[in-house]
């Protein structure tokens, strides 16, 4: 029997040997992983692969990306340049930023690249969506959806949108405590999308239940493609199936009613009508996937941008003053004269006050500064960081080869942050950069310096609707309320997968004096 000291030394030696062996195995695995992707370059091209790291076997750099957020991309851009390689969500990725590089990618749709979302997103959204369509199928679907976002359709949406936004702002002012703006904006956006875009007849309880399910769906949209118990993909599939069950009955009823409709009343009606005009009939499954896609397109991004608008206006009171001046000059300075109704301690928004909407697309078109504020919000805090494509063939970008079959992820945020076409530094908040001189600077040659809605064949169809919602919100906020932080300091921003304040942006809202009170003060 060995002495106790020798036994300890022997055990420590065995542990050390095991750790050394494990370390060598990990090092060998990472070396082979790196070699595997180095050898995947297109040997017919003399150009090298972009610089960068492929991370760890299978996981790549996904965990770093999720933890570091926007810092992940900015740090690698500083180290490797505006084109670099990485491995995210199970796929090799070329990350691209800079107006010229992004222009090549966006205008290369169907020729150099095709749309490619992560495998998890493709599984969850389904095969009958605009996001997943390519070639002629994409062109046909885009034509069908365009009717739902035409100017005539927007004109119909504006009064209903204004009523919903006015009611929401009044409920914030009536709240007994702080309002978590991001959560409230998500609930509001979902209600507007479900009722106004989809025309679903949902009471508050049904709407809240469906919104919670949808949020779980969105939270797991970008996950590792592992359909195993407790995985993000499994949770997303469960949420998707629940959504489809909720939507199926409503859509079936809508199809029956729609056969007698002369004109579409909402976006989903528009899709049904446009498809029938082309001699087709959509199945219930296709409509369920189209409905979820419409919700997805409107939900997180619009809620994110709405929250960013509230935050940036709070941080820049001079912008609020300029909006108030512009509204007064247009005869729109007075808000609805009804006093804010009690919110009922979280029982839902107050009822409509009955005041008629006073805004239209034409009216909003005259509010130049409001439009500039919305553009600046979307430039400084774009809701999504970029978009995915897949290389259809090997091509050159910034002196590097982009191999056929690799994913290409163009960066909206990095491109905005590095743009050098504005008269003021890109990191500052300056709505006037989008004045007449600013629009000239963003002419045809420079338009890819500003891409909150993407560009090319896959530019966002709903961009005018999104900007309209933000303009309406800005007007209702500024002429109805003042707001202040309910926390000691402004929150940090999380940027993956959707931009939002980490604490949800907790604010106190206070109603401004009513028109009658203002008249009394002047007397």
Read off the pLDDT of residues 162-183 as tens digits, 9 standing for 90 and up: 999 999 999 999 999 999 999 9
The pLDDT > 70 percentage for the chain reads 87
**pLDDT at position 306 over 80:** yes
Residue 352 placed within a domain = no
Tens of pLDDT along 385-409? Answer: 888 899 999 999 999 999 999 999 9
Q: Which two tokens stand for residue 79?
A: 């180290």
Q: Is 112 among the domain residues?
A: no
Residue 513 lies in a domain: no
pLDDT at 11: 63
pLDDT of 264 > 70? The answer is no
**pLDDT of 202 above 90:** no
Of 102-111, 134-143, 300-309, which range is least confident? 134-143
Name, in order, each residue with C-beta under 8 angstroms of 455's C-beta and a sequence gap of 6 or more: 102, 103, 106, 107, 447, 448
Asked if the structure places residue 180 within a domain, the reply is yes
Q: Does residue 2 register a pLDDT over 80?
A: no
pLDDT tens per residue, range 324-342 = 999 999 999 877 666 555 5
Does some domain include residue 7? no
Residue 460 annotated as binding? yes
Please give the pLDDT value at position 296: 87
pLDDT of residue 420: 79
Provide the pLDDT confidence category of residue 520 given band limits of 50, 70 and 90.
very low
Is residue 39 assigned to a domain? Answer: no
How do residues 452-496 score in pLDDT, each as one tens digit? 999 998 899 899 999 999 999 999 999 999 999 999 999 999 887
Looking at residue 129, its pLDDT comes to 87
Q: Is residue 495 part of a domain?
A: yes
CA distances from 177 to 135, 298, 312, 346, 480 (A): 51, 28, 21, 10, 18
- Residue 517: per-residue pLDDT: 47
CATH number of the domain bearing residue 224: 1.10.630.10
Percentage of the chain modeled with pLDDT above 90: 49
At residue 254, does pLDDT exceed 80?
no
The answer on pLDDT for 69 being more than 50 is yes
How many domains does the chain contain in total? 1
CA gap 240, 41 in Å, rounded = 37
- How far CA 431 is from CA of 321, 376, 480, in Å, comes to 13, 5, 22
Asked whether residue 243 is domain-assigned, the answer is yes
Using CA atoms, how far apart are residues 12 and 6, in angstroms rounded to an integer? 10
Give SS3 for 82: coil
Place 521 in a pLDDT band, splitting at 50, 70 and 90.
Answer: very low
Q: Is the pLDDT of residue 26 over 80?
A: no
Listed ranges 51-60, 221-230, 434-443; the one with the highest mean pLDDT: 51-60
Q: Is the dihedral of CA 121, 122, 124, 127 positive or negative?
A: positive
Question: Could you tell me the pLDDT band of residue 248, with boundaries at 50, 70 and 90?
Answer: confident
- Look over the chain and give the mean of its residue pLDDT values, rounded to a whole number: 86
Q: Give mean pLDDT, residues 253-281.
A: 74
Q: How far is the C-alpha of 413 from the C-alpha of 426, rounded, in Å?
A: 11
* Domain span at 255: 122-331+357-505
d(CA 332, CA 328): 6
pLDDT of residue 438: 53
């Amino acid at each position: 029997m060995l002495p106790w000291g020798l036994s300890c030394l022997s055990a420590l030696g065995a542990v050390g040997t095991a750790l050394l062996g494990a370390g060598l195995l990990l090092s060998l695995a990472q070396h082979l992983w790196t070699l595997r992707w180095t050898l995947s370059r297109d040997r017919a091209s003399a150009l090298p692969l972009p610089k960068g790291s492929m991370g760890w076997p299978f996981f790549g750099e996904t965990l770093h990306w999720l933890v570091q957020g926007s810092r992940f991309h900015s740090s690698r851009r500083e180290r490797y340049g505006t084109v670099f390689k990485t491995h995210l969500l199970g796929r090799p990725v070329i990350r691209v930023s800079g107006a010229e590089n992004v222009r090549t990618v966006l205008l290369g749709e169907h020729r150099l690249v095709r749309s490619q979302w992560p495998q998890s997103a493709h599984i969850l959204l389904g095969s009958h969506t605009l996001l997943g369509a390519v070639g002629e199928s994409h062109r046909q679907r885009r034509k069908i959806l365009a009717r739902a976002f035409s100017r005539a359709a927007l004109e119909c949406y504006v009064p209903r949108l204004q009523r919903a936004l006015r009611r929401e702002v009044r409920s914030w002012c009536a709240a007994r405590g702080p309002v978590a703006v991001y959560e409230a904006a998500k609930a509001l956006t979902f209600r507007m999308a479900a009722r106004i875009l989809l025309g679903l007849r949902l009471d508050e309880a049904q709407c809240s239940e469906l919104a919670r399910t949808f949020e779980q769906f969105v939270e797991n949209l970008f996950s590792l493609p592992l359909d195993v118990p407790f995985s993000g993909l499994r949770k997303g599939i469960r949420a998707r199936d629940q959504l489809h069950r909720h939507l199926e009955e409503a859509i079936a009823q809508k199809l029956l009613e729609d056969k007698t409709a002369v004109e579409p009343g909402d976006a989903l009606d528009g899709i049904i009508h446009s498809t029938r005009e082309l001699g087709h009939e959509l199945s219930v499954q296709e409509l369920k996937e189209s409905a979820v896609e419409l919700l997805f397109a409107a939900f997180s991004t619009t809620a994110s941008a709405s929250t960013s608008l509230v935050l940036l206006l709070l941080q820049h009171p001079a912008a609020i003053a300029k909006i108030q001046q512009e509204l007064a000059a247009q005869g729109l300075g007075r808000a609805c004269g009804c006093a804010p109704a009690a919110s009922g301690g979280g029982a839902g928004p107050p009822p409509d006050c009955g005041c008629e909407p006073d805004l239209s697309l034409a009216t909003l078109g005259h509010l130049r500064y409001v439009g500039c504020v919305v553009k600046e919000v979307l430039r400084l805090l774009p809701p999504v960081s970029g978009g995915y494509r897949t290389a259809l063939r090997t091509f050159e970008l910034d002196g590097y080869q982009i191999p056929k079959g690799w994913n290409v992820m163009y960066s909206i945020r990095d491109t905005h942050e590095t743009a050098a076409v504005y008269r003021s530094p890109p990191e500052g908040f300056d709505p006037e950069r989008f004045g007449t001189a600013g629009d000239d600077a963003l002419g045809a040659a420079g338009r890819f310096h500003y891409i909150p809605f993407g560009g090319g064949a896959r530019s966002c169809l709903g961009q005018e609707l999104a900007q309209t919602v933000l303009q309406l919100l800005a007007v209702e906020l500024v002429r109805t309320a003042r707001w202040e932080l309910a926390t000691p300091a402004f929150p940090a921003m999380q940027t993956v997968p959707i931009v939002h304040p980490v604490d949800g942006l907790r604010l106190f809202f206070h109603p401004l004096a009513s028109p009658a009170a203002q008249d009394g003060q002047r007397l």
